[in-house]
Structure formats: structure tokens, C-alpha cells
Amino acid sequence: MMDYTLGKGKYENWIVSETKFSPDTLGKCESIMYLGNGYMGLRSATEEPYLKEVRNLFVNGTFNKFGEGEVTELPNLADVTRIDIRIDGERFSLELGKTENYVRQLNLKNAELVRQFDWTSPKGKILRFRFRRFVSLENLHLIGMKMEIESVNKPVSISFDSGIDGRMTNSGSQHFLEGEKRIFDKQFLQLLQHTTESNVDVVINSAHQVTVNGKEIKNQRMHIDRRKIWLTFEAELNPGDKLEMEKITNVYTSIDRPFSEEGISFQQLRDVALQDLRDSLQIGYDGLFKKHVQTWEERVWNHYNLHIQSKDGFDLLSLRFAIYHLTAMAPAHDERMGIGAKALSGEGYKGHSFWDTEIFILPFFTYTNPKVARSLLTYRYLGLEGARKKAKENNYEGAMYPWEAAWPSDGEVTPVWGAVDIVTGKQTKIWSGFIEQHITADIAFAVYQYYQITGDQDFMNRYGYEMIFDTAKFWASRLEWDETHGRYHINDVIGPDEYKEHVNNNAFTNYMAHFNLQLAIKYYEKLQRENQSLLKQLNEKLHLEKAYPLWLERSEKLYLPQPNADLVIPQDDTYLQLKEIDLTKYKQSKKVGTLFLDYNLEQVNQMQVTKQADVLVMFYLLNQVEPFFNEEVKRANFHYYEPRTLHDSSLSLSTHAVLANDIGETELAYSLFRRAAEIDLGPFMHSSDHGIHAASIGGIWQAAVCGFAGLRLTGDQLSFHPRLPDHWEEMEFTIYWRGEPVLIKVTKSSLMIRTHNGKDIPLNVRGENMICHGELEIQL
């Protein structure tokens, strides 16, 4: 059972709590309380094991493919969190005995996981437990754990096994060859792993410091077994005695920089890792934790400076939750890595990057931490290699980005087979990897947005122009000439609404492709004017002089579906003619995907039912380029499509929240914002089983900042249209415009903007152009 109100005093609205333990709902807290630092993610499984646990440790970028019939994925590394505790010789478990005063908390401010409770064993011994854990933001390789057990009423024997367990798999797939296992100085455990196909070496070291009433005790026995290495500790506690265990672990891999680049030998990597662990153990949990907390304070909370006053503290908590996770998931240390759809919190979507990053997550970084945004876009630049491979395989030109991406050079990694088809009894074929093509334009859009907001010309010169030109080349080759209408079509695609496969002229796809082509034209002409030498270089590489006329000709003749008499833009050529069914049952369901208990995908393809925002996302994105769609059109489409949308994708609600705001339905927007936040937070105990919803978490931030504050890029300008919901009194946050911080404060009746060092910036507030001379305050 979850409680989001337990943070008090300086931790008010900083604490996510579970107040009742249930062995049947472990996935919720494992995911939403996961610990990470962009380098690695540690799912928050409990120390003592339970049947339904999912125990995961992922290191970003270590992708491996198990074998034929599977796709590459982030492998589940050896586990260090499990501790098998015996009390008077019997297994300790919260399923047995009696548990009181139970609470498990993720402290968002400190990025620490704490769990504590009093437990009465089946034999009547009362013990007080406290577990603490963090994944350091200061030393990216470090995991700190602490366990305290106090005997309350009777003498008790405690023993426990703790070590490194390399028997973990990804739902049965083992990505690692057995490596060496070794115990140095009877204390430092080391287990090596080597991925079977991608040849990544992993070093995991763990060491323990165990005391009873402050007096150190040594391990009673060492063990090495298949894929496992561990120690046994034993102690006798009298009432009042306290056992403390600190377990310090570190993880290094051969793809870590600088090791991967400096030709350091594996033995050196092992030595560095072991020495780091020896040093860390000297410092101890408290010292290491202190540095970690300082780092969060400086790099995260002080930096983003986001605050709201709401009648309901949950709103602020959910925004902090978003920033916590956006920090934990982002591989700010290495531009060869992206963000997985479940971040580093679970096996779901295999660590793959989707359009989720560019459309739902990246805006947060683009506006508030451009360095990270640049790293994530550079990942896509490096991904041109895979994108060109995919285009070639499909007989297209240029760069066709994979629907799902792993290591940049991998190309397409979307799995081909999914859940059961209830009609045929076979697995349903997943077509996204073949025909969900809008991702290529989505990435182009993200580059555009990044450039407009940051003005990062260096990025454009090195990476951005090449990405825009090569994606435009793809689209030019992708369009299909329709002789009947004398225009170009894009047939046989999947749009954002994945309940419609093999459709023609998905509006979102066509418009975004058009945008991508237009952007290439614009940048080509800009380089002609401003940077001939760069254009020459790019031309040599990409043959732009042949591409440019095609862009002109084809983008002009590309069919862009227009609003019908009711102002509804047809989602694709057939959607509006499909039969309608009563969706009440599915709309009311607390679980996603329930439609497929009654229909298979082939049948769903024939109904007016939408998985997620499709046309609406297009409004949101393209109005940042030019005011293509007016409020009337937005409103008509919102009211047409929303009732037909099951929000079976976590990407859907936050977009609807922003759009509801755009059409002035602020209270509806607020309720959509809350629903979006409750995908991971909230009372539903199974919604995050496979991992958190990274895009939805990015969407929470956008719903607040781009929704209620109405922050928006419009062409070359920053614009605002604040509309705080009833619950909110005030909202404050910092963004970066063209490299400079801008403080924004919104109340129900005013908008205050302050620039760095009194700089001038042009703005548009509620449709009016103005200049902010250092500071601007407007009554609303």
C-alpha cells in the first residue's frame, strides 16, 4: 500500500512510501523506487528474497543478444542485493511471523532507499530491522548498502549469506559467460562476467564490514559455486545488541570510458576496480552517502530549481519524482548511450530507445540541462550508422532510424513477435520495426527543437545538419507517387496509434515527414548563405546537390490530410470510415490492453479505437515550428479522438493534458496530469511491474511546464500562456534559453521572468510579442 504524504519538515513532498508489505505486489516499489545514476540502474528488490521478485541490475550500453530468435537487450548483471538471513536457523521473511511499523521509502532528495520494521519471528523473538541503499551519483560505479538488526526482547542467533550472484537472467536468457570468481584477503569478493556476443567484460566487487555493537566480526565461511560467490556471517545477539552490516559494491565494465578508449587491459580494469572498492570500504557507508547527497543537491535540485504550491502536495511530489527519475535514467556520462523506455528499472522493452526519448523526455533536458540533451542527441547522431543500415536493408536512401535502438551501430532491434493472438493461438507479429517510420522525423524534430532553444551551433555543425539532411533523404526516397491524385503518399505505415497497422497517409507521419523535408531545405539554404565550406563537406558525404531539388519537389507535393467539415483531421485514409464499438468497458478498466482479451489485433485494426494520442501529438509538435493548427481545429480533434482513445500507451495522457490546456480546459488538463502521474505513482500496484514509464515521467514535466505554465517554443521565440489549475497557487522553475538561465515564476494572476545578468530576450506572452529586459512581470 502506497502513501505519498509521509515526508515531514524538510522532506515534505520528498518521500514516496510503501506502508504495508505484500509479496504479491513487489513490482511496484521495485520499479518506482529503483536507484540509478545514468551509468547503472538497480531495481529495488528487497534484501530477503520473495517468489515474485524481479531482481535487476543494468549497466547502460552493455547490450547483448542471447541468440537467434531474440533481439539485443540490456543484460541483467550479477546481483549483490540479495541477503539470505536466518533467525535462529529459520529463513527470515515478511511472509512469516508478524511485521509492525513497516515502511519502505524512497527519499527523492537524497536518492536513498530505506526500509524498516519491527518483526516478530514465529518463535516470538522481536527484532528491529533497517535497510538502507543508494547508487552513488558521485561515484557512478558505486552501490552502498547498510543493514541494521537489533534484538529487542530475547537472545537470538542471526546468520546471513551475502555476496555476488551471477545466476541472474533476463527472463531466462543468460547473457554472460562464467568468468573468474575470486575472494581477495578473505574479504573482497570479485566476480567477472563476459557477454556472450557483444564481448563486454564486467567486473563486480563487493566487500562487507560487519559489526555487533560496533565490534567487527569476520565472516564465518567463504563460498564459491557456479556463477556465485558469497560469505556467511554469524552472530549471537542479546536484547539491545545491534548488528550492522555495510556492503559496498562497485561495477566496472570494459565499455566504460576511459577504459574502452585508452586500450587499458582487462587486468588493469580489475585492479582499478578493486582499488576503488578498497578505498570506498575505508570511507564507509556514511561517508560515501554524504558525498552522494551533496551531488544530488548541487547537480540536481539546486540546478532545476522547480517548485510549485499546490493544495495537494502530491503534485509537487510527482514533479520531484519526475526529476529524480529523469536524472537516474540519463546517461549523461556517455553519448554512446540512450534512454530505454523503462529507463534502467526493469526488463520491459529491453533497454531500447524509442521516439519516447525525443518527444517525451528530451524536452526536459533541452530546456533545463542542454548538456545532457546534447549527449542524447549525439547518441542519435552515432545512430546514423544503424539508421543508414536500416534504410539500405529496406531499399531506401539516407537514414531510416530504427523504431527501437540499442547500441548506436545496431540498427533495428525491435522484436518481431509479441503476446498471444487469442484467435490463432500464435504470437502476434509486431510490425513496428518494419513500418512505424515516424521515428525518423521525430528525431529531426528533436534536433530542430534543441537548436532553436539552445542555439548550439557547434552541435549543428558537427552533427545536427547531417542528421537533418540524411533523414530528409530517407523521406524523399520513401514517398510514393500517387498518379490518381497527382501527389505523394506514404502508404503502409503505423502511426503513433499502434492499433492501426498498415494504414496509408497517417496524418502524423505525413506531416512530420513534410516538416523533416522542409527543415532540410531551410538548413540547406541557410548553409548556402552562411557556411559554404560546411555545406561542401556535407555535400561530398551526402550528395546534397542531388537531394535538395528532390526535397523541394516532393515536400511540395506530399499529401497532408486536411480538416474535414467537422474540422477533424483524418488520422489516416480509412480511420473515419471504420466501425465504432462501445469502449466503456475498456475505458473504465484500470489495466491497459484489456481490449485484447476480446479481440485480436486484426480485429482492432477495423475499429475506431485509438491506443494513444496520434493527431494530437502532431498539433503539439508542429505548432512549435509554425502555427499550423488553430485552437478550433485542436478542440474539434481533441473531442473527436479522445473518446476513442484508450490511453493504452503511457505516452498518451500527458499529451492530452498539454492539449487540454491549449484549448483552455485547464481542469481537465489537471485531471489528465494527475492520471499521467499516477501511471507510476498512484494506487495501482501492478502498473509498473515491468519498469517505470520513462516517457510518461518526461510527460509529467511537460504537462506542468509546457501545459500549465504554457511554456512553448514557437518558431524562433519562447512563448508563455500560463493557466494554473485551481489547485495550484504558484509555480517556479529555471530553463535555459540560448545558453542562459531564465527564471520563471507563475501565479494565478501573474507571470514573472528574470534573465541571467539582466540580459534581454524576446518573448511572446499569450500571443503578444514583448522583450524581457532582465526582468519582466505581467499581470494575467
- Binding residues (CB under 8 A) for its own copies: these are 23-24, 49-51, 66-70, 90-91, 93, 95-96, 166-169, 171-174, 177-186, 196, 221-227, 229, 419-420, 422, 425-427, 597
Of 161 and 244, the one with the shorter C-beta distance to its own copies is: 161
355 is in an annotated binding site: yes
User: φ and ψ at 608, to 5 degrees?
Assistant: -80, 75
Write down the least CB distance from residue 177 to its own copies, Å.
Answer: 5
- Encoded amino acid at 27, one letter: G
DSSP state of 503: B
Cell of 609: 479505437
Write down the least CB distance from residue 158 to its own copies, Å.
Answer: 16
Of 178 and 729, the one with the shorter C-beta distance to its own copies is: 178
Asked if residue 647 lies in contact with residue 660, where contact means CB atoms within 8 angstroms, the answer is no
Write down the least CB distance from residue 161 to its own copies, Å.
Answer: 12
**Omega of the bond prior to 258 within 30 degrees of 0, cis?**
yes
What is the bridge-based pairing of β-strands 487-489 and 480-482? antiparallel
Write down the least CB distance from residue 770 to its own copies, Å.
Answer: 55
User: φ and ψ at 427, to 5 degrees?
Assistant: -80, 145
DSSP state of 360: I
Of 101 and 427, the one with the shorter C-beta distance to its own copies is: 427
Of 278 and 738, the one with the shorter C-beta distance to its own copies is: 278
Asked if residue 240 lies in contact with residue 195, where contact means CB atoms within 8 angstroms, the answer is no
Of 222 and 550, the one with the shorter C-beta distance to its own copies is: 222
Strands, sheet with 712-714, edge to edge from the N-terminal-most edge strand: 712-714, 717-720, 760-765, 768-773
Write down the least CB distance from residue 415 to its own copies, Å.
Answer: 9
Write down the least CB distance from residue 162 to its own copies, Å.
Answer: 15
Of 185 and 483, the one with the shorter C-beta distance to its own copies is: 185
611 is in an annotated binding site: yes
Q: What is the 3-state secondary structure (H, E, C) of 581-641?
A: CCCHHHHHCCCCCHHHHCCCHHHHCCECCECCCCHHHHHHHHCCCCCCCCHHHHHHHHHHH
Q: How far apart are CA 92 and CA 129, in angstroms?
A: 11
Best CA proximity match to 699, nearest among 652, 735, 635: 652
The runs of H, that is alpha helices, within 490-614 are 507-530, 532-542, 544-557, 584-588, 601-604
What is the bridge-based pairing of β-strands 760-765 and 717-720? parallel
Residues with a known catalytic role: 498
Write down the least CB distance from residue 357 to its own copies, Å.
Answer: 24
Q: How far apart are CA 742 and CA 717, in angstroms?
A: 14
Cell of 166: 551471477
215 is in an annotated binding site: no
590 is in an annotated binding site: no
Of 73 and 335, the one with the shorter C-beta distance to its own copies is: 73
Asked if residue 401 lies in contact with residue 353, where contact means CB atoms within 8 angstroms, the answer is no
Residue numbers belonging to the annotated binding site for substrate: 355-356, 611-612
Residue numbers belonging to the annotated binding site: 355-356, 611-612
